[in-house]
Structure 1
């Protein structure tokens, strides 16, 4: 179990660094199809397309991990 937690931690660090650096090049979070409402001082944001993209990518990653396990 400790090895799994260490691997997950390292993976999260790598993803965070890629997100930080890649945020300049890949506008994940502001894709066409994401809904944004602004009215006065209130802003409501629904990242629908971003959620779908992340879900597809994670599904493919977990499928590949399960397939080669």
Structure 2
């Protein structure tokens, strides 16, 4: 997980999100940002490679918000 965090600059991005959320709270804006790390060691199917597939449904709304559905 350390390598993942380093590769994606997680600490810097998390700090930027904390600051953005503090600024939003100070100005009365109720929108917040978030971030998470989700390392995956195995595929969906542990033995059959052809079953290693997945999908996600992402709704992007006109106000900039998103809704994500996934099977994980």
| Structure 2 length-normalised TM | 0.33
Structure number with higher helix proportion: 1
